[in-house]
Amino acid sequence: MAADELWTRLQEALEAEACSLIVLSRPRDKQVAEATKISIRPVELKEGLQYQFTKRVNGQEFHENFDREATYKQIELFFPETYGDCHLYTRDYDLTARVQKGNKLRIKKKSASQAPKEEISHNRAKQYLIPEGVPCPFLQEIGVMTPEGKVKASRYNKFRQINRFLELIDDVVPALPKSGQLQIVDFGCGKSYLTFALHHLLTGIQSREVNIVGLDRRQDVISTCSRIAGQLDCSGLEFQKGDIQHYLPETQIDMAVSLHACDTATDEVLAQAIAWKAKVILAVPCCQHEVFSLLPKDHLHALTQHGILKERYASLVTDALRAKLLEAAGYQVQIVEFIDMEHTAKNLLIRAVKVERQPRVLTRRFEEFQAFRQELGLPELTLERLLKAKLINL
């Protein structure tokens, strides 16, 4: 059978590391398929060979990496239900599987394409948005870099974290307004080295005009950051004492950032950003105690009887629920690694980009959220209540 041939050849090609490219295309349901196609390429990472899934949604490109087994399962999820064509390119042959009328699968096989082989290694010298060796004033001010541009050995992890943060933002810049002043709010900005990094990316690298407001409840933090911003002549960057509940923006917010919120403070940020219809939301969640305390005592007892495992499980569940609610509110959501766990415990970042969705798709996403929450035996959560209080229909 054609289906058997496809899955056998796909499995063999993955196991032999012979795949150069896999493309899923021709959406069968454009409301379910968020992208017109998904390209899958091998990439060499520190964990070994992975397969990078790339899709473009509303002009924004998204990437996600999977190992060999997970790649096979992901393709099974997408083909043939969501996409009607599956193109497999290997070093020995090309194979195309197409769903025809009556859901019949047709296979075509031909000699391998003569396309040049791509370099798949990601372990080449890293090209950072803020390169080492080039003096950067704000990195000098916060003690990461010397006046000559050399990164201090004791601060190299922080240098990597800042650049990783900038990469995550650089990916979503196309989702922001193409012209005019960008309006950005950073809640709980803390020591603000990442707020300064954001300002540097948008003004120094992207040459954009910005109005970035960093909020924090501690006056000493605000005073220190305001002093540094003045010394560095950071136009369009200011710091104010306050919190999200009492902040009233004078104009439409384009990006909402929250990298240091604790427990349900993350939900307050997400709810407010959704209410503002922010085009981009970036949040690093922390201390997800709500779900931890609400999980039924008999829920997955073999796992939750161990406090540390229950804490990690509750954290993952919380962020999965938040992601699904963001999808129901019309956002394309990714949960990505922020920095290696050994450098900071806050190793996940929720990245959400506002996109156009049909009402029935949003309804389906909210139904998926409700089903997931009910399956976990959880009552209504803080983020749900906050959204309802802001009269946001889900």
Q: How far is CA 357 from CA 91, 120, 327, 331, in A?
A: 39, 34, 9, 8
Instruction: Name the domain boundary from 111, 145, 170.
Output: 111
Which residue in this structure is represented by tokens 């540390």?
308
Residues 96 and 143 in one domain: no
Residues 187 and 83 in one domain: no
Task: Flag whether 125 is in a domain.
Answer: no
Residues 278 and 371 in one domain: yes
Instruction: Name the domain boundary from 76, 111, 146.
Output: 111
Task: Flag whether 120 is in a domain.
Answer: no
Residues 180 and 101 in one domain: no
Classified as helix, coil or strand, 212 is strand
Task: Flag whether 261 is in a domain.
Answer: yes
- Domain containing residue 178: CATH number: 3.40.50.150
Query: How far apart (Å, rounded) are the C-alpha atoms in residues 92 and 229?
Result: 58
Task: Flag whether 78 is in a domain.
Answer: yes
Residues 155 and 243 in one domain: yes
Task: Flag whether 132 is in a domain.
Answer: no
Residues 102 and 198 in one domain: no
Task: Flag whether 128 is in a domain.
Answer: no
Query: How far apart (Å, rounded) are the C-alpha atoms in residues 235 and 187?
Result: 19
Q: Which residues contact 189 (CB under 8 A, 6 or more apart)?
A: 195, 214, 215, 216, 221, 225, 239, 259, 260
Which residue in this structure is represented by tokens 């992601």?
323
Residues 320 and 222 in one domain: yes
Which two tokens mark 59? 């002009």
pLDDT band at 120 (very low <50, low <70, confident <90, very high): low
Query: How far apart (Å, rounded) are the C-alpha atoms in residues 11 and 48?
Result: 18
What was the pLDDT predicted at 126?
A: 62
- Residue 150: give the domain boundaries: 137-389
Q: Mean pLDDT throughout 1-9? A: 84
The number of domains in the chain is: 2
Task: Flag whether 129 is in a domain.
Answer: no
Residues 204 and 323 in one domain: yes
Residues 250 and 338 in one domain: yes
Q: Mean pLDDT throughout 74-96? A: 92
Query: How far apart (Å, rounded) are the C-alpha atoms in residues 328 and 67?
Result: 29
Task: Flag whether 222 is in a domain.
Answer: yes
Which is nearest to 131 in space by CA: 204, 64, 43, 212? 204
Residues 274 and 366 in one domain: yes
Write down the pTM of the prediction.
0.68
* Range with the poorest average pLDDT among 37-51, 81-95, 266-280, 292-306: 37-51
Provide the 10 A C-beta neighbour count for residue 255. Answer: 24
Residues 103 and 238 in one domain: no
Please measure the distance between the N-terminal and C-terminal CA atoms of the chain and give it in whole angstroms.
Answer: 44
pLDDT band at 264 (very low <50, low <70, confident <90, very high): low
* 42-68 pLDDT tens trace: 887 777 788 999 998 877 788 899 999
Residues 102 and 54 in one domain: yes
Q: Is 54 left (phi over 0), alpha (psi -120 to 50) or beta?
A: beta
* Range with the poorest average pLDDT among 130-144, 226-240, 246-260, 329-343: 329-343
